[in-house]
Structure 1
Amino acid sequence: MRPMTNHAINRQSVLASLKRVVVKVGSAVITTGDGLDSTAINRLADQLCGLRDRSVDVILVSSGAVAAGRQRIFERTRQTQNPADMASRQAASAVGQGRLMHDYDEAFARHGVVTAQMLLTRSGLKDRERFLNARTTMERLLEWGVIPIVNENDTVSTRELEFGDNDTLGAMCVGLTGADLFVSLTSADGVFDRNPDSSPDAKPMPTIDNICDLDIESLCDGKTSVGTGGMYSKLRAARRASQLGVPTFIVSGKGDFDILAALESKTRGTLILPRKNAVSSKKFWLAYHDDPAGSIRVDKGAAGALLRKGKSLLPIGIAGVDGCFERGALVFIRTLEGEELGVGISNFSADELCRIKGRHTDELAAILGPIPSDEAIHRDNMLLDAAI
Structure 2
Amino acid sequence: MTQTPVDRKALLAHVRRVVIKVGSAVLTTGDGLNATALHRLAAQISGLGNRGLDVVLVSSGAVAAGRQRIRERTARKNGKTFADLPSRQAASAIGQGRLMHDYDEAFAAHGKITAQVLLTRSGLKNRERFLNARNTMERLLEWGVVPIVNENDTVSVKELEFGDNDTLGAMCLGLIGADLFINLTSADGVFDKNPETNPDARPMPCIETIAALDIEAMCDGKTSVGTGGMYSKLRAARRAAQLGVPTVIVSGRGEFDLAAVLDGEERGTLVLPEDRAVSSKKFWLAYHDDPSGAIVVDKGAANALATKGKSLLPIGIRSVQGCFERGALVFIENLDGDRLGVGLTNFSSTELDRIKGLRTDQLAKTIGPVTFDEAVHRDNMLLDAAI
**So what's the TM-score if we normalise by structure 2?**
0.96
* Cα distance in 2, alignment partners of residues 110 and 30 from structure 1: 19
Who is 1:56 aligned against?
53
Letter in 1 for 2:314: P
- The answer to whether the Cα contact below 8 Å between 2:189 and 2:249 also exists between their aligned partners in 1 is yes
Who is 2:284 aligned against?
285
Question: After the TM superposition, which of the residue ranges 35-44 and 256-265 deviates more from structure 2?
Answer: 256-265
Letter in 1 for 2:378: R
Q: Secondary structure at the match of 2:69?
A: helix
Distance 1:260 1:157, change over 3 A: same
Who is 1:206 aligned against?
205
Who is 1:162 aligned against?
161
Runs of 4+ in 1 over 2 A off after TM superposition: 7-10, 80-84, 262-267
Say which of 27, 30, 34 aligns to 2:31: 34
Shift of 1:335: 0.4
* Cα distance in 2, alignment partners of residues 357 and 240 from structure 1: 31
Who is 2:20 aligned against?
23
Shift of 1:38: 1.0
Letter in 1 for 2:29: T
* Cα distance in 1, alignment partners of residues 133 and 351 from structure 2: 35
Shift of 1:15: 2.9
Who is 1:78 aligned against?
75
* Cα distance in 1, alignment partners of residues 189 and 167 from structure 2: 17
Letter in 2 for 1:133: N
Who is 2:95 aligned against?
96
Shift of 1:256: 0.8
- The answer to whether the Cα contact below 8 Å between 2:85 and 2:159 also exists between their aligned partners in 1 is no
Distance 1:84 1:14, change over 3 A: farther
Letter in 2 for 1:138: M
Shift of 1:84: 3.4
Who is 2:275 aligned against?
276
1:211-255, Cα deviation, whole Å (9 max, x unpaired): 000110121111111111100000000000111000000000001
Distance 1:296 1:352, change over 3 A: same
Shift of 1:115: 0.2
* Cα distance in 2, alignment partners of residues 257 and 308 from structure 1: 44
* Cα distance in 2, alignment partners of residues 58 and 265 from structure 1: 18
Letter in 1 for 2:131: L
- The answer to whether the Cα contact below 8 Å between 2:13 and 2:263 also exists between their aligned partners in 1 is no
Structure 2 counterparts to residues 153-302 of structure 1, below 5 A: 153-159=152-158, 162-264=161-263, 267-302=266-301
* Cα distance in 2, alignment partners of residues 161 and 128 from structure 1: 21
Letter in 2 for 1:332: F
* Cα distance in 1, alignment partners of residues 130 and 218 from structure 2: 34
Letter in 1 for 2:48: L
Question: After the TM superposition, which of the residue ranges 7-16 and 134-143 deviates more from structure 2?
Answer: 7-16
Q: Secondary structure at the match of 1:319?
A: strand
RMSD of aligned residue pairs (Cα, Å): 1.4
* Cα distance in 2, alignment partners of residues 266 and 206 from structure 1: 11
Gaps of 5+ in 1: 1-6
Say which of 13, 19, 41 aligns to 2:10: 13
- The answer to whether the Cα contact below 8 Å between 1:121 and 1:161 also exists between their aligned partners in 2 is no
Q: Secondary structure at the match of 1:316?
A: helix
**So what's the TM-score if we normalise by structure 1?**
0.96
1:127-155, Cα deviation, whole Å (9 max, x unpaired): 00000000000000000000000000000
1:250-283, Cα deviation, whole Å (9 max, x unpaired): 0000011101224546542000001110000000
Structure 2 counterparts to residues 108-123 of structure 1, below 5 A: 108-123=107-122
- The answer to whether the Cα contact below 8 Å between 1:295 and 1:331 also exists between their aligned partners in 2 is yes
Q: Secondary structure at the match of 1:271?
A: strand
* Cα distance in 2, alignment partners of residues 160 and 91 from structure 1: 13
* Cα distance in 2, alignment partners of residues 144 and 268 from structure 1: 31
- The answer to whether the Cα contact below 8 Å between 1:81 and 1:88 also exists between their aligned partners in 2 is no
Question: After the TM superposition, which of the residue ranges 375-384 and 157-166 deviates more from structure 2?
Answer: 157-166
Q: Secondary structure at the match of 2:282?
A: helix
* Cα distance in 2, alignment partners of residues 329 and 387 from structure 1: 18
